[in-house]
Amino acid sequence: MKPAFNTPDWVLAALDERRQHDLVRQTMTLNSAQVPHTQIHSQNFTAFCSNDYLGLANHPKLIAAMNDTAQVYGVGGGSSHLVCGHLTPHQMLEEALADWLGYERVMLFSTGYMANLGVISALTGKHRPVVQDKLNHASLIDGALLAQAPLRRYLHGDVKSAEKLLSKSSDSGLLVTDGVFSMDGDVAPLADLSALAARHDWMLMVDDAHGLGCLGDAGRGCMSLAGLNAQTMPILVGTFGKAFGTAGAFVATSHDFADYLTQFARPYVYTTAMSPAMAGATSASLQIIQSDEGEERRARLAEHVAYFRQRVKSLPVALMPSNTAIQPIVIGDSKSAIRLSEQLKALGIWCTAIRPPTVPAGSARLRITLSAAHSDADLVLLCDSLEKVLTAKLSNATR
């Protein structure tokens, strides 16, 4: 028999509070690969909540590259990059990414969360402040907390608000923003933020986890959209778990910054390197992203976004200003968001309700994400289902 645990009262109280406010999270197990037509608890669904924006997570070329790399270099990294865990597939991927994006150096990290913790905690401190967008990802906020750095947050997407904070600071520091905001889907005003950072002698750091691969020339992301480069965006963080369809992350920067992070970014120094097999698969993904196939997938994704927005604008909800794969529908209270999510599941649509504290209080939502792997019929099914449940919601509210 398993031992009985004496759970502290404060743990039970915290869980009970989450339940009372419809905020409990739980894991669902997929019984299939990460593809639009999936199985959960042996039921078939069309999923619209994955970050696999280009539909590469189950691509045969990635699977073959992973297997081929594993045959030569094995599966595990075995150690940190600085001991004996930096293998040839890692180096090849770093060089290919640096060439693609136009940076002097790229450093691989095991996850995007660790990349953001590592960079911000190394580059800031008690006398090097951090100014961030109010809707930045949790990992960016946590990086500043780890560094014990003075942290101020400007109004979302508001360059004037950011400038006020920089002007009030007696020390220069790190200006940090997402490229594409993960819960709203909108794009940061990077050109203006870059100019602002230059005027005040601050460093600009951008986490473009949701833009790279999907947006810009050859999929170079928000940097390309804004007309920026390695000089005007000195620190770029990207992840492989979204458009790349694999796992892990990277930081693109200069030789000097990379040398500094190698010494002082603790999540880089003290973590086993990502799997060399995963690095091999990611290199194959990068080749697709840069190819004609990548262009075709980005075009198909853009078509899906346009169709979705055209259909949904006639429904009794307000669309958010997003032209990316992330198309949120804000419902408001958590209970209503959960109810709508369950109604969509009954129609064969899997779309998880996102609730506080992931999003601000009162803005629980359906975070709908589109993929190049979705078919036109999938988009029709989604929009027809949304029309059915949202029209029914409006009808019930007016009774």
Task: Please write the tens of the pLDDT for every residue from 321-345.
Answer: 999 999 999 998 999 899 999 999 9
Say if residue 283 carries a ligand binding annotation. Answer: no
Beta strand pairing call for 43-47 and 37-40: antiparallel
Helix, coil or strand: residue 127: coil
What pLDDT is recorded for position 316?
86
Say if residue 324 carries a ligand binding annotation. Answer: no
Say if residue 210 carries a ligand binding annotation. Answer: yes
Output the DSSP codes for 207-252. E-TTTTTTSSGGG-THHHHTT--TTTS-EEEEESSSTTSS--EEEE
State yes or no: pLDDT of 2 exceeds 90: no
State yes or no: pLDDT of 394 exceeds 80: no
Helix, coil or strand: residue 177: strand
Residue 130 belongs to what H/E stretch? strand 130-133
130-157 residue pLDDT tens: 999 999 999 999 999 999 999 999 999 9
CA-nearest of 318, 324, 287, 290 to 305 is 324
Domains and CATH numbers, the chain: 25-53+295-397 (3.90.1150.10), 60-290 (3.40.640.10)
CA-nearest of 381, 311, 377 to 350 is 381
CA-nearest of 110, 101, 76 to 286 is 101
State yes or no: pLDDT of 279 exceeds 50: yes
Amino acid present at 133: D
Output the DSSP codes for 8-74. -HHHHHHHHHHHHTT-------BSS-SSSEEEETTEEEEE---S-TTS-TT-HHHHHHHHHHHHHH-
Say if residue 241 carries a ligand binding annotation. Answer: no
Distance (Å, rounded) from C-alpha 133 to C-alpha 217? 25
Looking at residues 234-244, what average pLDDT do you find?
98
Helix, coil or strand: residue 298: helix
Structure tokens at 307: 């169709």
State yes or no: pLDDT of 395 exceeds 90: no
Distance spanning both ends of the chain, measured CA to CA: 54
18-57 residue pLDDT tens: 898 888 888 888 888 889 999 988 899 999 999 999 999 9
Check if the beta carbon of residue 252 is closer than 8 Å to that of residue 96.
Answer: no
Whole-model pTM above 0.75? yes
Helix, coil or strand: residue 92: helix
Distance (Å, rounded) from C-alpha 213 to C-alpha 219? 4
Looking at residues 76-103, what average pLDDT do you find?
97
Check if the beta carbon of residue 251 is closer than 8 Å to that of residue 206.
Answer: no
* Percent helix, percent strand, percent coil in the chain, to nearest 5: 45, 15, 40
What pLDDT is recorded for position 22?
83
Distance (Å, rounded) from C-alpha 55 to C-alpha 243? 7
Check if the beta carbon of residue 111 is closer than 8 Å to that of residue 249.
Answer: yes
Check if the beta carbon of residue 359 is closer than 8 Å to that of residue 365.
Answer: yes
Banded pLDDT at 397 (limits 50, 70, 90)? low
Residue 132 belongs to what H/E stretch? strand 130-133
State yes or no: pLDDT of 199 exceeds 90: yes
Phi/psi at 329 (nearest 5 deg)?
-120, 105
Give the 3-state DSSP-derived string for 317-376, with helices as H, strands as E and coil as C: CCECCCCCCEEEEEEECHHHHHHHHHHHHHCCEECCEECCCCCCCCCEEEEEECCCCCCH
Distance (Å, rounded) from C-alpha 204 to C-alpha 236? 9
Banded pLDDT at 398 (limits 50, 70, 90)? very low
Say if residue 358 carries a ligand binding annotation. Answer: yes
Query: In the 8-state DSSP scheme, what is residue 180?
Result: B
Say if residue 73 carries a ligand binding annotation. Answer: no
Residues 6+ apart with CB under 8 A from 117: 139, 142, 143, 146, 267
What pLDDT is recorded for position 142?
95
Check if the beta carbon of residue 219 is closer than 8 Å to that of residue 299.
Answer: no
Q: What percent of the chain has pLDDT over 70?
A: 97
Say if residue 90 carries a ligand binding annotation. Answer: no
What pLDDT is recorded for position 391?
83
Say if residue 239 carries a ligand binding annotation. Answer: yes
